[in-house]
Amino acid sequence: MACCGGCLCCQCCCNEGETRTPEELTILGETREDEDEILPRKDYESLDYDRCINEPFLDVLEGLDNKKARKYEAIKWILVFAIGVSTGLTGLFVDFFVRLFTQMKFSLVGQSVEECSENGCLALSLLELLALNMMFVFISSVLVLIEPVAAGSGIPEIKSYLNGVKIPGIVRLRTFICKVTGVLFAVAAGLFVGKEGPMIHSGAIIGAGLPQFQSITFKKIRFHFPYFRSDRDKRDFVSAGAAAGVAAAFGAPIGGTLFSLEEGSSFWNQALTWKVLFCSMSATFTLNFFRSGINFNKWGSFQLPGLLNFGEFKCVDGDKTCHLWTAVDLAFFVLMGVAGGLLGALFNCINKRLAKYRMRNVHPKARFIRVLESLLVCMVTTLVIFVASVALGECRDLVSTSNNTSTQGSVNEEVNSTIRRFFCYNNTYNDMATLFFNPQEVAIHQLFHQNATFSPITLSLFFVLYFVLSCWTYGVSVPSGLFVPSLLCGASLGRLVANVLKINFHMQIYSGTFALIGAAAFLGGVVRMTISLTVILIESTNEITYGLPIMITLMVAKWTGDFFNKGIYDIHIHLKGVPLLEWETEVEMDKLTASDIMEPNLTYVYPHTRIQSLVSILRTTVYHAFPVVTENRDNEKEFMKGNILISNNIKFKKSSVLTRAGEQRRRCQSMKSYPSSELRNVCDEQTAVEPAEEGQDILQQMLERRVQIKSKLRFDMFTVRNLQNIFMERDETFT
């Protein structure tokens, strides 16, 4: 095998290589040939995003008029608004309980540290912090065991879904509950994860499930709502929900719309743009309204637009020497972009190797091993936070608020109220504890707006520790985002550059700007986003003058990182074996023709293929699509009937005989979802089919029922869904 030469972990799993499937061997890089080829997994299936022009669809079109079309469009706008409001309320729920748990934890442990610093009982404080964090992580990890799709940020899965690949369970209600509940416990536990990525996944689930008015998880939730049953309509609502999740996370409705366009859908139109933007605005202002009222008791003031707020970047009034950035600073921003791209590529490379290691050694074992790994990561993270805050920090002088870079009194109060004075007295504070012993959003705020200098040694240690632990954490069995850890890691690097330029070169620069550019550089080097991330950061800072430096930094970081590997989300899509089509092809692909990639030994079916033959084909092949062929008089096969998609996740229902009357009954159930009354009336006169006896031979059933009543509806071989309704009962993955 290809892995048997090097590391010990590779040698340990070489003996098990023969028991793995070709897809797993290819993903793990253990194949002899075509080592870079990733085969799609069997449980992935294409979504029908193109309109299927068949007779039922044409009947629906004939029954539509301008009045019904306007009603249809009005209902769609109402649902888009409901999706935005629901996503905003979900963000409010997560933010409220994360703040509640973190304040309770840090107040309890912080008070214990202050008391034990004199009494010598710091071990007791560490045990208290460790017990709280591990309890939270245990709950979050158990929720992921209930629904494994809820792990991670969910952005790779939603990106795949919007590009036409169905991943089982990705938009279920059970996934939503586990995702939302798990992420608030994971963030409250102090893991180096963010809640912004899971918010995007949660918004997408709301977009997929709310217009359906029914649930597979909870069978009793089922209302008669005969609209938006096609994959095409669900795709549009999922795009709106994902954009609403970004808007709620960062208070950036335009950035959310661009995120859905840039990183999400491959199918877009002008009407969808307006709906997605309206949904993002609804989510932003819903969250802003309630957060402003709850936190400041000023209902309707709209002071907190998103879950992550960068604060106001502004020089002191009357200080002519102060400037946010100059043309000279652009040279440093370009260099920081290069550094961010290199560090982002290193981050992605290490995380990819960790993901492969988990696929080899963690996932194949018992499920509780994943919980143990999460608890191990939590224990190490807690020990690092506590030891670094108590032992590695330096006491720094606290600069008075009159010299602070921000003119807002509320900002000054918030910055100075969150400092930590562990073992520091006489108007000094512990710089390491201020960064580690606070929520991540507060630490970012400190790096952006705290005018007091952080020690270069402290910033360097903080960057290294945060880089390693966040890379290790992303991929464990908890809901976890990557935006905030990347922003915090990059902000510490940018603040380090600002301190070096200020102290060693005596340059008059704005430290907050360099911290912001460092955050953008590292985040851009990890996720490789350009347009949407630029707009998100501009909207988060509420400072349009940062547009040019942020855009230049992100472009340089992306170009540098792309020289080594792909973005973190594309890497995880690749590892999952999702057959995702890229936006642009490789140069070598332009030289290929269709015959170069076609399969010579083709598996095909006839229009009247027996069920036993279909079942045999499904069991012996890994394909989802099969061409339907006919024979002409010269006994030559003509590929003239199109192709059919057959899911491998089917349950063949032996108790139901596949007769033409049964075909009619199933088809009528499918057509009842259409808003056309004519189609529903056709099905009222059909007779029901009694279930077949248990154990009866399938072929014998077909022969006995062959003379039964013929269908009044013409069978359309070109329709994928109609053929699936005849031969199988699909496991629906939407709620």
pLDDT digits (tens, 9 = 90+) for 633-685: 554 444 444 445 444 333 333 333 344 445 445 545 544 444 433 334 444 44
* pLDDT tops 80 at residue 732: no
pLDDT digits (tens, 9 = 90+) for 202-250: 999 999 888 887 666 666 666 666 677 778 888 889 999 999 999 998 8
Q: Which of 188, 303, 206 is nearest to 542 (CA)?
A: 303
Q: Where are the domains of the chain?
A: 8-58, 68-296, 329-575, 598-730
Q: Report whether pLDDT(697) > 70.
A: no
Q: Is the pLDDT of residue 70 over 60?
A: yes
CATH number for the region 68-296 comes to 1.10.3080.10
Asked if 289 and 251 count as a contact pair (C-beta separation under 8 A), the reply is no
- Tokens matching residue 509: 């620069």
Tell me, yes or no, if the pTM score tops 0.85.
Answer: no
Q: Is the pLDDT higher at 278 or at 604?
A: 278
User: Among positive and negative, which fits the CA dihedral 293, 295, 297, 300?
Assistant: negative
pLDDT at 482 over 50: yes
d(CA 46, CA 44): 7
CA atoms within 13 A on the CB side of 107: 7
Q: Which of 725, 735, 700 is nearest to 650 (CA)?
A: 725
- Do 68-296 and 329-575 fold alike per CATH? yes
pLDDT, tens digit, for every residue of 347-377?
999 999 999 999 888 888 888 899 999 999 9
CATH number attached to the domain at 329-575: 1.10.3080.10
Helices 483-505 & 511-527, crossing angle to 10 degrees?
140
pLDDT at 265: 65
pLDDT at 7 over 50: no
Q: What is the DSSP letter of 3?
A: T
pLDDT, position 450: 78
SS3 content of the chain, % helix, strand, coil (to 5): 60, 5, 35
Mean pLDDT, the chain, whole residue set: 76
For residue 135, the model assigns a pLDDT of 94
Q: What is the largest CA-CA distance in the chain?
A: 99
- The whole-angstrom separation of Cα 617 and Cα 39 is 19
Q: Tell me: the pLDDT tens digits for 291-302?
A: 888 877 777 777
CB atoms < 10 A from the CB of 292, how many?
A: 18
- Examine the pLDDT at 733 and tell me if it is beyond 60: no
pLDDT per residue as tens digits for the range 523-547? 999 999 888 999 999 988 888 889 9
Q: Would you state the structure tokens that stand for residue 597, as one six-digit string?
A: 């990639």
Question: Given pLDDT bands bounded at 50, 70 and 90, which one contains residue 8?
Answer: very low
Q: What's the rounded mean pLDDT across residues 463-478?
A: 93
Place of tokens 């945060």: 466
Are the beta carbons of 663 and 726 closer than 8 angstroms? yes
Spell out a b/e string for 22-47, using b for 16 or more CB atoms within 10 Å of the CB, else e: eebbbbbebbeeeeeebbbbbebbeb
